[in-house]
Structure 1
Amino acid sequence: MFFPLLLGFMPSDTARHHRSCILDVLQEALEEAKIKPQDVDCVAYTKGPGMGAPLLSVAIVARTVAQLWKKPLLGVNHCIGHIEMGRLITGAENPSVLYVSGGNTQVIAYSERSYRIFGETIDIAVGNCLDRFARVLKISNDPSPGYNIEQMAKKGKKFVELPYTVKGMDVSFSGILSYIEDMSHKMLSSGECTPEDLCFSLQETLFSMLVEITERAMAHCGSQEVLIVGGVGCNVRLQEMMGVMCQERGAKLFATDERFCIDNGAMIAQAGWEMFRSGQVTNLQDSWITQRYRTDEVEVTWRD
């Protein structure tokens, strides 16, 4: 596991870590599964979105392995990896999906061979907002800033009103981050509130916005299922708030534990398998990376 020492994941450091570990991880996976390269059906890799350097490091290895083993290659959208793993683990059939992570915030639903985005952040992702506020409070990155904010929020007792910005189906987090960055020192030094109160208030406000746009998407789609995916989906308080909304609507909430909420190779393998069994293959000349690879750009050939 790679933990950044200071202010988050630097693309060059992350790529260097991937390059140093990837062959060992590949060998370990084969040994644990008790299979040989000839038993593998296809090779899947993350095409995007994400940071260019680590994406490229993995894509090069995937292309090389696919050619050496003479296996089909599949370039997978990162978000769709989360969705397909979530559907597999939870059994959700046709949910409205809330995808929340350090780099993305989207409300998604399936329609006509596409995962369509009904709402999203218009600036920064919810996980990015939490991570950047953690730096303001000098909260540790180990095991993650968001997790540590969640634990501090459980001890908060006072709610501090913060900017709440929902625009139709979209949300904005940059305003609330700017406000709390500017005001936190004054509020803390005056004794108006504690760091735990600020973590509690930030979580409650951010998650209320997410619940609102998810419920709006459910009403639009006629959906009675919600699936939360992405790293921020591990947050128990977010799951609680979404669960209350679902209960009031007579709907059902699906969420996975931290093994499958956070980024993992199994989710890319699952999405790649769905693509492969429906007849998709990524040609070598098309196996580049795309840092801005939107969820709704993918043709979903494996669902009715």
Structure 2
Amino acid sequence: MKDKKLIALGFEGSANKIGVGVVAIDGTILSNPRHTYITPPGQGFLPRETAQHHHQHILPLVKSALETAGVTPDEIDCICYTKGPGMGAPLQVSAVVVRVLSQLWKKPIVGVNHCVAHIEMGRIVTGAVDPVVLYVSGGNTQVIAYSEGRYRIFGETIDIAVGNCLDRFARVLTLSNDPSPGYNIEQLAKKGEKFIELPYVVKGMDISFSGILSFIEATAEEKLKNNECSPADLCFSLQETLFAMLVEITERAMAHCDKKDVLIVGGVGCNERLQKMMQIMCSERGGKLFATDDRYCVDNGAMIAYTGLLEYANGASTPMEESTFTQRFRTDEVLATWREKETAIA
């Protein structure tokens, strides 16, 4: 029993995906099922309906995760869940289920920061050691680097996230939300031939997307009506502009931190065009780009299980009375004790 690897059960439900993962301390992903709440074209997902979706699917996912992993509740060392950030009602679903299972199975709880979980999942899957991290999703856009015990935010959006910008423009074009609006914009952008100039808003290390969204919404209404461009042209132009802005602030952070490698995490990180643009920049600086596919870029339970297990292995757990959730939980609030030990070893 001394050689037994620690195993965690992790729950992720901060937005429209509910996922349950089982992961070992060495990063072996034993199972990682999830289910996505998909709304009709032109519509976003609302908190109440999203929470109802999570209620419906969370217990079947627990059963599937344990069966696929081939483990029993007795073999689980801790139960981890997304404490935040995210949407309140969906976050509540995982928090309640984790509390119940903790009492039924007599297991400790570990509350996990969603953003840090994306980073740790990206690091273990790709093998990136100490990169600058570009975290891009529907709810977050941050440029991050580890320094002195914490993941420091060097730049971020000052309004909406890049994924939210893409999603909302997809609604304007009434693109399907299956598998995701951002993915369907990416596919349409590949057919674009005409570049339409859009606002380019970088403010030092920070970035803004709301004005670009307003501008392209108005442009779409005018130019599509007059057949001056196609929906594909607009998607192509939007992607090129947004991603160029992201590459710029990431490169600036690399220069500031004296790092050569970049890790892209979060749902928008699946975008192949973003990966290509970032890879070109990294190679010009003598560095390397690390990125993953939708199994790990998109929200999933395994990333919560693994990050929670890192915290648990370093002596952290969340008392029952503190196993709450919050819509605002900054990346740099987390003391990354496991990274401190890595630095000491190195």
TM-score w.r.t. the length of structure 2 is 0.87
The CA distance in 2 between the partners of 1:185 and 1:299, in whole Å, is: 47
1:87 to 123, 143, 154: 123
Q: Which residue of 1 aligns with 2:59?
A: 23
Give, as a single letter, the amino acid of the residue that structure 1 aligns with 2:111: G
Residue 154 (structure 1) aligned with residue 190 (structure 2): yes
Residue 53 (structure 1) aligned with residue 89 (structure 2): yes
Give, as a single letter, the amino acid of the residue that structure 2 aligns with 1:4: T
Name the stretch that deviates more: 277-286 or 206-215.
Answer: 277-286
Give, as a single letter, the amino acid of the residue that structure 2 aligns with 1:176: I
Give, as a single letter, the amino acid of the residue that structure 2 aligns with 1:220: H
1:195-228 deviation digits (Å, cap 9, x = unpaired): 1000000000000000000000000000111000
Structure 1 residue 14, shift from structure 2 partner? 1.1
Structure 1 residue 191, shift from structure 2 partner? 2.2
Matches within 5 A, 1:113-262: 113-262=149-298
1:5 to 6, 26, 40: 40
1:271 to 274, 299, 307: 307
The CA distance in 1 between the partners of 2:198 and 2:135, in whole Å, is: 23
Structure 1 residue 18, shift from structure 2 partner? 1.1
Structure 2 unaligned segments of length 5 or more: list them. 1-34, 341-346
Give, as a single letter, the amino acid of the residue that structure 2 aligns with 1:245: M
SS, match of residue 338 in structure 2: coil
Structure 1 residue 72, shift from structure 2 partner? 1.1
Give, as a single letter, the amino acid of the residue that structure 1 aligns with 2:262: V
SS, match of residue 62 in structure 2: helix
SS, match of residue 133 in structure 2: strand
Give, as a single letter, the amino acid of the residue that structure 2 aligns with 1:49: P
SS, match of residue 339 in structure 2: coil
**If each structure's strand is expressed as a fraction of its own residues, which one has the higher value?**
2
1:288 to 320, 324, 330: 324
- The CA RMSD measured in Å over matched residues stands at 0.8
Structure 1 residue 5, shift from structure 2 partner? 2.4
SS, match of residue 94 in structure 1: coil
Give, as a single letter, the amino acid of the residue that structure 1 aligns with 2:172: V
What is the count of residue pairs matched by the alignment?
A: 304
Identity of aligned residues (%): 67
The runs of at least 4 consecutive aligned structure 1 residues that moved more than 4 Å come to: none
Q: Which residue of 2 aligns with 1:300?
A: 336
The CA distance in 2 between the partners of 1:213 and 1:29, in whole Å, is: 38
1:162-187 deviation digits (Å, cap 9, x = unpaired): 00000000000001001011121211
Matches within 5 A, 1:98-113: 98-113=134-149
SS, match of residue 303 in structure 1: helix
Name the stretch that deviates more: 183-192 or 95-104.
Answer: 183-192
Give, as a single letter, the amino acid of the residue that structure 1 aligns with 2:38: F
The CA distance in 2 between the partners of 1:205 and 1:34, in whole Å, is: 46
1:21-40 deviation digits (Å, cap 9, x = unpaired): 11111111111111111100
Structure 1 unaligned segments of length 5 or more: list them. none
TM-score w.r.t. the length of structure 1 is 0.99
